[in-house]
Amino acid sequence: MRDLGAGLRYLGQGQRWVLAHGRWFGFGLLPALITLVLYAAALTALGFYADDIAAWATPFADDWGSTGRALTRGVFAVMLWVGVLMLAVVTFAAVTLLIGEPFYEKLSERVEQSEGGLPEGTVDQPLWRELWTALCDSVFVLFRTLLLTIPLFFLGFVPLIGQTVVPVLGVCVSGFFLTLELASVALQRRGVPVRERLAMLRQRKALALGFGVPLVLAFLVPLLAVPLMPGAVAGATLLVRDLVGARPAPGAAPGGPAPYGGPQPAYGMPGQPAPPYGQPPAPPGYGPTGRA
């Protein structure tokens, strides 16, 4: 429960950060607005052709009575639209981050600087390589999302479960992968590969869900995704600093266990810096060179 609350607080802190830095908030609106227009056009087109797609996908219902045929194809059309909508929520962040890569990268860096500075060993790549890496990572995230959303789509036809449990699971899946997509900005800076990012968030599922699920629900409200996107990037950056141990989780007890990949309680001599991400600390009493 503490991680759930921490995720929600990071989301709120990110929104407050961009509101306090209005210039960054204003620049962050344009990429999200462009993406919203593209997605709105695609979803509108799907709404117009959903019945035709349902008829094409259910040829077995051609010989049924009019009531059964209409009910089956109506449910299929609704589930198709809802499934694509949930997928759009997850990919909205990915497409927006690709369109606004230079801005959101600088926004995330500025948040880290305001919270104590950039991490040591920051990976600095040319823009084209950052875009290519972000595209490959987004395809990976989309593939993993589809592995879960496609079965949920067909489970949606199961009476009762499809109208109660499945929508809740769908929002949770979308929230988890939305957090992964947004956190990738700060984790890519640290040189963490996408598979390891996924493993990190799996160990802190409650943190990821506490951040991502409210954001998914907010993104379902028309036009709300645009003003929330800059703050979502800022909040995900704060979440990453918790995830790798750069700052304690909100409400965490002092001296508690370090998060995944975070610093250990002691690194040796006083003032000795923490080792780079993923490397073990030096034995107590030893300096950075390995000598006392």
3-state helix, strand, coil in the chain (%, to 5): 70, 0, 30
Q: How confident is the model at residue 122 (pLDDT cuts 50, 70, 90)?
A: low
b/e per residue, 59-94, with b = 16+ CB within 10 A?
A: eebeeeeeeebeebbebbbebbbebbbbbbbbbbbb
Q: How confident is the model at residue 19 (pLDDT cuts 50, 70, 90)?
A: very high
CB 90 within 8 A of CB 219: no
pLDDT of residue 251: 43
| Mean pLDDT for all residues in the chain | 79
pLDDT of residue 29: 86
Decide if pLDDT at 259 tops 80.
no
Residue with tokens 């920051």: 122
d(CA 172, CA 163): 15
Largest Cα–Cα distance in the chain?
Answer: 85
Residue with tokens 């995720």: 7
Mean of the pLDDT values across residues 105-121? 83
Q: How confident is the model at residue 124 (pLDDT cuts 50, 70, 90)?
A: low
d(CA 73, CA 222): 26
Q: How confident is the model at residue 164 (pLDDT cuts 50, 70, 90)?
A: confident
- Specify the higher pLDDT residue, 269 or 86: 86
Mean of the pLDDT values across residues 75-103? 83
Tokens of 127: 């823009």
pLDDT tens figures, 33-67: 998 899 888 888 888 888 888 888 888 888 788 78
With CA atoms as reference, report the closest residue to 119 among 209, 191, 173: 191
pLDDT of residue 281: 44
